[in-house]
Structures are given as C-alpha cells and as structure tokens.
Structure 1
Amino acid sequence: MTEIDFHRWAVWSQLIIAAITFVSVIFVVAPYGRYERAGWGWRVQKKHGWILMEFPAVALFFVLFFIGEKRLELIPLLFLGIWQIHYVHRAFIFPYRMRFSSRMIPLVVPLLGIAFNTLNAYINARWLTHFGDYGPEWLYDPRFLLGSALFVAGWLGNLDSDNKLRSLRQSGDTSYKIPKGGLYRWISAPNYGCEILMWVGWAIATWSTAGLAFALYSIANLAPRALSHHSWYRKSFDEYPTERKALIPYIL
C-alpha cells in the first residue's frame, strides 16, 4: 500500500468515526463536567487529561508537517500558524483556565481524544506539506479568504465564550449559573458552535478531504453535545431564556 492509499484510508476512517461518534453521543453523554457519574474505570485529573488529549494535535502535527517537502512554502506555513494558534492554547493554556480543572475524569475520555487527535494530525499535516498543492496564488483564492475569515471568527468567538463561562464563578464556587452576554444572548453553546465554525472554515480554506473529514467530525461530536447542554439548562433553570436556541441563533 502506498502512502497516498493509506492517507485515503485514514480519511475514510475519520468519516466513519464521525458517523459512529454522532450516534454514540446522542445516546451516551460523555461522563465529565455536569454529566459526571460513577463508573467508567480509572480516572485522571481533568487538566492533565486535557493536556494529554490535545498534545498530539500540537506535537505530532508539527513533526509531520515538517517532514513534508512543501514545509517551507507560504500557504502551508500559514495553515500551520492557524492550526497551532488554536491547539497550543487548547493544550497548554486552556486546561489551567478551565473550570474545575482539578476534578477527576475517566481516563477513557483523554485516551479516545489521543486516538482521534493522532489520526486527525496525520491526515491534515500530511495533506498540507505532502499530498496537497498550494501555490502562492492560493493566498487570493476566495476559498482561502472565506475559510480563513470563518476560522478567525470562530476562534475569537470560542475564546470569548469560554471566558464568559469562567467569569460566572468565584474561586471555590462549584454551582452552575446561566451564562449571559456575547453569543450567549442567542445560543446555549456558542463555544461548541464557534468551534464547528472554525473547522468548517478550515475545510473551506484547505479545500481538502482531510479538512472536510475534520469538519464533519466536529459537527458530529459537538452538535449533539450542544443540544444536551441546551436541554440541561432548560431543565435546571426555570428562568432560562425561552428564546435562546442551542447552536444556531433563531434556528436550532
């Protein structure tokens, strides 16, 4: 099997994983955070599990990117910057700022995350500097411009939404509150919605099956979670805004 065949197989595998994930998270909510429950085996501190889970998206992506022969070309380097600005924050800053970072979560959660991020880092990094072909003219291509704009908008919205969640609690406060302001005026899970927007933007900007597979996985994984959050808020707070949607303002 040549590597291009292996890469195609890996992309198809991620699409299959996306379908399985979509069905799974509809029926089984991941056992951490507000959905924490007994069972699920060994546990690890939440912040440490998060770092382990996201580490391949930083380190493995970086290594695979720079073994490609197109590693010093302009457009791939721009994509590297876009990717790393998100994942360096996600792996090494976000875990220490997240709420309840010292809580324990089932080890299976970061293990599944490691497996996915390893596969995802491979298919995207190898596409950018080995299988893909981005000349300097791609910098002015409408797909690159639109996709990059969507990514940046989603990234900024994701950061703002996470900051608003953290601001809800004083130190030592373990209660949940209704988030307000920003995109929370319209939807219950803008952090998830903006992350989906980011990777849809990535798929458009890279115009690749690897990017598309990642975007579809993000939708499959995060959209059902957003609906679960929305349902939980409505059941937990009688005063929860009735006009607020789950994921897409005024629609869903």
Structure 2
Amino acid sequence: MFFPIWVSVAMDILSAFLFPPPPSTFVNVMTVVSSTSLAMAGLSEIKGKHLQYSKFWNSNSGSKLSAQESKLSSKYGMLLVYTPAFLAGAASFWLFPSGDERFFLLKSALTLHFFKRIFEVLFIHKYSSKMVLKTAIQISFSYFLSTAIMIYTQHLSQGLPEPPIDLKNIGVGLFLTGIIGNFYHHYLLSQTRKQEETAYKIPKGGLFSFVICPHYLFEIIGYFGFAFISQELYPLCFSIGTAIYLAGRSYATRKWYISKFENFPNHVKALLPFVF
C-alpha cells in the first residue's frame, strides 16, 4: 500500500505545478527517452566516455579519430548543432501564431536561447580543433527535437486549465539569469587565450574563481527557466536530464584541468561552488 500512496501524494504535488500530461503517446515516450538518455550520457562523462567534440574526449581509452571519419571545423560544426533548433523556434511563431502569454514566452525564450548560441559561435568563441560530423548531427538532432517537442507540448495545453501555482514569471527570471550568466562566462572563456594562442589556460574571472564550469551552471538555470515557463512534464524531465548530463561534463572538465595543470586550485569545484 505504501508505494501507491507515495505515488498518489507525488502526483498531487506535481498537479499543483504542472499541466496534465498531453494526450500524445509520442510526447510521453520522448519524456522518458530524452531525460534517460541525457542522464546516461552524464554518467558516461563521469566514467570517461566523452562525446567527440570536447577538448578531453580523446582521453577515452583507445579512442582515436579515424582518418576516414568525416570532420569539419568546430565553428561550422557548432553552427550545425544550433541552427536547426533556432529555426524550429523561429518557425513556431508562424506555425502557431496564436496562443496565450505562456506559449509566447516559451517560444521567445527558446528562440532567443539558440540565437544567442549562434551569435556566440560567430563572434565570441575561439576554436583550435575539428568536430566529428556524426557527433554534430547527433547533437543537432537532439536540440532540434527537444525544442520542437517543448513547443508542441505547450501547443497541446492551450485551452486547458492553468496549474494552481503559476511559475511562468519565475521561469522568465531563471531564463534571463541563465542566458546572461552563460553569455558572460562564455565571453570570459573566449578572453582566456589571445587571438594567436592555441594552448588551453585555466579560465579566471566571474564564478571561475569557484567552479570550472559556471557556464554549465547558468545553462542549467536557463533550462529550468524553460520548465518553469512551460510548467509541462517534458521540459521539466528534460531539464533534470540536462542537469545530470552537464554535471557529468563538469566533473570530466575539472578532472581534465587537474591532469593538465599542476597548479590547478583545489578549492575550485566542478559545477556548484563549495559543493561539487
């Protein structure tokens, strides 16, 4: 009897914050698949199995880029990663021109998020390596699919009674905090090396004095902004999965810096100041 009662209590609590699950088998299945896949990817990062685009992925045991494997510059690879999701967000204003304030805020936040990513790729980031084409396509599809599902899920909720507790304004605050903090720390990263330099350095400034991946911390905050604006189950689960994945990448990033720099400060954590 305990398990059904526990589930019932949990569902009652969630129902105060979330719209009911949409009448879509596809969305409900993808809620489980997306969040689980991200969480597993995060655990893989902790175990040392990295996606083939980071500065430390080739620390995988026995992993080497095959001469036959298609590669492209990191700049064009990252454009490929972010552009389809941005187009999905922009197209949503044409595909779903009507809707309530919550729907408009979600579409705007998603579109602005990926516009910012593209802007950074073109004008902020510096590159010194190549990216595996297959990896770029996989990540691009993931971003595009998650963006499209968030928008479609919100579309399905139009006309339904609002959750008793309205979190969309808090969501806007989280999103703005996340996107500004993420941009600022990406800018600091870009200033770590001079124009002609290719060697990595320990980043400084902002929250880099406390964690090695403050840009991931603010990215997580931004994703929970989507979840709070939407108040749908899919964005919430996707945000939790993203948090687990980026926690894994942060752990791997700190481990990489410790292996490369003897003077890496011990007090600098991976993601959460003084904690992790």
Structure 1 length-normalised TM:
0.87
Residue 55 of structure 2 aligns to a residue whose secondary structure is helix
Aligned pair 1:200/2:230, yes or no? no
Matching residue within 71, 74, 91 for 2:98: 71
The aligned residue for residue 188 of structure 1 is: 212
Q: Does 1:120 find its partner at 2:146?
A: yes
Q: Per chain length, whose mean CA-contact separation is higher, i.e. which structure has more relative contact order (CA < 8 Å, sep 6+)?
A: 2
2:40 to 20, 34, 38: 20
- Aligned with 1:173: secondary structure? coil
Judging changes above 3 Å, is the alpha-carbon distance between structure 1 residues 22 and 132 closer, same or farther for their aligned structure 2 residues?
farther
Q: 2:88 aligns with which of 55, 60, 70?
A: 60
CA, structure 1 residues 230+45, in 2 after alignment: closer, same or farther (shift >3 Å)? same
- The answer on 1:104 being equivalent to 2:130 is yes
Q: What is the alpha-carbon distance in structure 2 between the residues aligned to residue 133 and residue 213 of structure 1?
A: 23
Alpha carbons 1:14, 1:214 under 8 Å: kept: yes
What SS class does the counterpart of residue 180 from structure 1 fall into? Answer: coil
Deviations 1:146-198 (A, max 9, x none): 22212211111101110101111111101111111111111110011110111
Tell me if the contact between 1:50 and 1:95 (Cα under 8 Å) persists in the aligned partners. yes
1:7-46 deviations in whole A, cap 9, x for unaligned? 2222222123223323332331223342254325211111
Equivalent in the alignment of 1:239: 263
Contact 2:43 2:245 in 1 (8 A): no
Q: Measure, in 1, the Cα distance between the counterparts of 2:249 and 2:151.
A: 27
Are the counterparts in 1 of residues 210 and 273 from structure 2 also a CA contact under 8 Å? yes
Q: Give CA-to-partner distance per residue, 1:201-250, whole Å, 9 cap, x none.
A: 22122111121132023113211110111112222222222211110011
Confirm or deny that 1:151 pairs with 2:171: no
C-alpha spacing 1:84/1:200, structure 2 compared with 1 (3 Å): same
Which residue number corresponds to residue 249 of structure 2?
Answer: 225
Aligned equivalent of 1:131: 157
- What is the rounded CA distance, in whole Å, between the counterparts of 1:66 and 1:129 in structure 2? 13
Match of 1:86 in 2: 113
For 2:50, the aligned partner's letter is V
Task: Provide the rounded CA distance (Å) in 2 between the counterparts of 1:246 and 1:133.
Answer: 43
Q: Which runs of 5+ in 1 are unaligned?
A: none
Please tell me whether the aligned partners of residues 7 and 123 of structure 1 are also in contact (alpha carbons under 8 angstroms): yes
Could you give the per-residue CA deviations for residues 113-153 of structure 1, whole angstroms, max 9, x where no partner exists? Answer: 12212320221010222335588x88xx6512222212211
Share of identical aligned residues, percent? 22
For 2:121, the equivalent position in structure 1 comes to: 95
Distance in 2, matches of 1:227 and 1:133, equals: 43
Matches within 5 A, 1:137-176: 142-176=166-200
Structure whose CA Rg is larger = 2
Please tell me the residue identity of whatever aligns with 1:177. K
Superposition RMSD on alpha carbons, in Å?
A: 2.5
Distance 1:246 1:23, change over 3 A: closer
Listed as ranges, the gaps of 5+ residues in structure 2 are 1-21, 59-63
Match of 1:34 in 2: 55
Are 1:48 and 2:76 counterparts? Answer: yes
| Conserved? CA contact 2:46–2:251, under 8 Å | no
Give the deviation of 1:78 after TM superposition.
1.8
